[in-house]
Chain A
Amino acid sequence: MTTARTLHAQLHLLDRQVVRAEDGRMICKVDDLELTTDEQGRPYVLAILAGPLALGPRIGGVVGRLVVGVTELFRPEEDPGPQRIPMITVSEIGSAVTVGGDVQEAALEHWVRVNVIAPLPGSGVETAAGERRPARRGDLTGRLRMSDLIGRRVVDDSGALVGQVADVRLSQDGPMLGEVQHAFRVAGLIVVPRHTGQLFGYERGPAGQAPALVAAVVRRLHRNSRYVTWEQVDVIADDVRLAVPTAELAPLAGLHRSMSR
């Protein structure tokens, strides 16, 4: 068996464009990821979440709350959730995330087309104004979101602060999704000491070395960053609690060698 594909959630999945497989039409961004746990209690990625209800919490602050608030105001259901695209429909992860099948279009797109674009001459929209889009049920459960995991504090076995989660490493060896695809399962966490900023992919070693000055600046900022394997995690509660002392954690630089690409 070949080694499982490894990805970093923040770097390779979050904020990428989602396109439709059949015609390359753009659907949305990967605004967040929904996680669930397998029998051993290890999280894996179940679905892509999109839309303002997924993006808002990630922006945070007043703006983020406003985005969520306004969206909820216009959604009919009691407890609306973001749009959910099951990982099983994902056929390719590259510079964009390609999904097969039919994804329901966003509510705003529909509203704008019917109420703004259709009345303009030459729009080519035949639908009559006032046409309603089939309502979508808020289909989110209270499962873990990737953005809840990223940014969470990490403490070691003695309760001493290690830092916070900057990225989540995933490997494609989780439970089967449907017939042919393995789920992306959490393989480990990249933990950075303070708010040292993003890694921008420069943790990947040889593949992310240029330009040298930028790489050097990012690496210098992250000299105290650590890589935590899933086996070293004790429990994920308000904080991520580790089963080992800080001293046993591998430095992030060690990840370069283990990364296949």
Chain B
Amino acid sequence: MKKVFAVTLGILTAIGGFVDIGDLVANSLVGARFGMSLAWVVVVGVVGICLFAEMSGRIAAVSQRPVFDLVRERLGPRAGLVNLGASFGINLLTLAAEIGGAALALELATGVNYLLWVPAVGLTAWLVMWRVRFSTMEKVFGLAGLALVAFAVALWQLDPDVGELTRQLTSPPPDEPVPTYWYYAIALLGAAMTPYEVFFFSSGGVEERWTRKDLVTARANVFVGFPLGGFLSLVIAACAATLFLPAQVQVDTLGQMVLPAGLALGKIGLAAVIFGVFAATFGATLETALSSGYTLSQYFGWQWGKYVRPKDAARFHASVLVAVIVATALILTTVDPIKVTEYSLVFSAAALPLTYLPVLMIANDPDYMGDKVNGRFSNFLGTAYMILLVVAAVAAIPLMIATKAGQ
């Protein structure tokens, strides 16, 4: 049983990274508009995040250094600060969106307007980060997010035309313009490989006090958690492609996104999925809020982490608190949480290379890694992904402007 629970860090990271509010809607939107023709991006994203999360987990286990520590160490104070600014900003936007998402899930469950839920969600999230132990937190929210598996059951109940879905894999709908297709491809790649996933995962490894002996645990987390997250993404897209694509319905709210589960499984299925959405977005709230503390502390060298008492990591806990307050205030301005994350996904695609290049370099540095440096296979794939990420980063913002953000 202990072994089963050992992978909850990976599950929480992946659920928070893959099926948080932005991805839930993005996957559904893409499924409804493009069918399964962008599924390959999710697969590319899963392989990429597995690759870099494995490296960062290995670095954390061998040298106890989390990712943002490496960013500053290898890129120096200036480029590190640019990355800090970008990552922290994206993180804050995402955090705001996740708080909004959890509140929207509560609105779907109760019918009470989400703005009334926002302060409660913000406060509860902060209390969890303030009082609850890291391992308890990751178990509860990682496992609760698994309720989203109900989407898989829903897909089976919807009885999709498998032949049609398979055909869509290779043929994008003819009436969508090519730049829009690529805009969404980059958004999905950004969603799968969001930098805060590795910030959180590697810092979580340090919080769990991984050592060389835990390398197997680190790998198991990566290879169970992220593919699971990717699987859920694909299932959600397939549900949308089955139900919404034929009716030509455009998905742009969380309420629309859970409809397939309700229609296929009835009230119980609907409740399960709404619970799963809440758990996933709330988990992502914790993940992004802690990540803002992690990145800031690791850049400046402050003591961080939930493994010490709050009084010993005062600046870290204060940053988390301030981030939660600012994000809650941001979402209370009634800005649409879903739009916020759709933009932050594209901006994060533009920031990807600055985060993953130092990881790739340190994973090859024998001073840090001793005999656990990357093998040829990891390096080959890592180099290929660096090229891919640079291309995506360069293309992200021009495409966003050219397609008016995918309209």
Residues of A within 8 A of B (CB): 10, 12, 14-18, 25-29, 31, 50, 55, 58-60, 63, 94-96, 106, 108-110, 112-113, 116-118, 120, 122-125, 198, 200-201, 207-214, 261
Choose among B81, B303, B379 the residue that contacts A212 (Cβ–Cβ < 8 A).
B379
Residue of B nearest to A50 (CB): B301
B77:A55 contact, CB within 8 angstroms = yes
B364:A15 contact, CB within 8 angstroms = no
Residue of A nearest to B387 (CB): A213
| Bound-state Cα–Cα, A88 to B367, Å | 22
Known contacts: A25-B308, A120-B130, A211-B374. The answer to whether A60 contacts B366 by CB under 8 A is no
| Bound-state Cα–Cα, A15 to B299, Å | 9
* Stretch among B68-76, B270-278, B337-345 lining the A interface: B68-76
> Chain B residues with Cβ under 8 A from A124's Cβ?
309-311
| Bound-state Cα–Cα, A125 to B130, Å | 14
Choose among B130, B300, B361, B382 the residue that contacts A29 (Cβ–Cβ < 8 A).
B300
Known contacts: A116-B314, A214-B386. The answer to whether A208 contacts B300 by CB under 8 A is no
Count A-B contacts at CB 8 Å.
121
Does chain A have a CB within 8 A of B65?
A: yes
A18:B301 contact, CB within 8 angstroms = yes
Does chain A have a CB within 8 A of B237?
A: no
| Bound-state Cα–Cα, A225 to B75, Å | 19
With A58-B78, A201-B365, A261-B367 already in contact, 5 other A-B pairs whose C-beta atoms are closer than 8 Å: A15-B76, A16-B73, A17-B65, A27-B301, A29-B72
Residues of B within 8 A of A (CB): 63-65, 69, 72-78, 80-81, 130-131, 300-304, 308-312, 314-315, 317-318, 321, 357, 360-361, 364-368, 373-374, 379-380, 382-383, 386
Interface centre among A26, A60, A94, A113 (most CB of B within 10 A): A26
A117:B311 contact, CB within 8 angstroms = yes
Residue of B nearest to A218 (CB): B361
B74:A26 contact, CB within 8 angstroms = no
Residue of B nearest to A56 (CB): B77
Known contacts: A27-B301, A122-B130, A124-B309. The answer to whether A15 contacts B73 by CB under 8 A is yes
> Chain B residues with Cβ under 8 A from A201's Cβ?
74, 361, 365, 367
A210:B374 contact, CB within 8 angstroms = yes
Residue of B nearest to A55 (CB): B77
A112:B315 contact, CB within 8 angstroms = yes
> Chain B residues with Cβ under 8 A from A108's Cβ?
315
> Chain A residues with Cβ under 8 A from B302's Cβ?
26, 28, 106, 109
B75:A117 contact, CB within 8 angstroms = no
| Bound-state Cα–Cα, A120 to B130, Å | 10
> Chain B residues with Cβ under 8 A from A116's Cβ?
314, 318, 321
Task: Give the Cβ gap from A8 to chain B, nearest Cβ, in Å.
Answer: 10
> Chain B residues with Cβ under 8 A from A29's Cβ?
72, 300-301
B301:A26 contact, CB within 8 angstroms = yes
| Bound-state Cα–Cα, A197 to B301, Å | 24
Choose among B80, B312, B357, B367 the residue that contacts A94 (Cβ–Cβ < 8 A).
B367
| Bound-state Cα–Cα, A153 to B323, Å | 42
Residue of B nearest to A111 (CB): B314
Interface centre among A14, A113, A208 (most CB of B within 10 A): A113
| Bound-state Cα–Cα, A106 to B314, Å | 11
A26:B77 contact, CB within 8 angstroms = no
B75:A198 contact, CB within 8 angstroms = yes
B361:A214 contact, CB within 8 angstroms = yes
B72:A122 contact, CB within 8 angstroms = no
| Bound-state Cα–Cα, A58 to B303, Å | 22
Task: Give the Cβ gap from A35 to chain B, nearest Cβ, in Å.
Answer: 18
Residue of B nearest to A123 (CB): B310
| Bound-state Cα–Cα, A27 to B315, Å | 12
B360:A109 contact, CB within 8 angstroms = no
| Bound-state Cα–Cα, A18 to B65, Å | 11
Known contacts: A15-B73, A116-B321. The answer to whether A26 contacts B304 by CB under 8 A is yes
| Bound-state Cα–Cα, A209 to B81, Å | 27
Known contacts: A25-B308, A201-B365, A211-B383. The answer to whether A60 contacts B301 by CB under 8 A is no
A112:B312 contact, CB within 8 angstroms = no
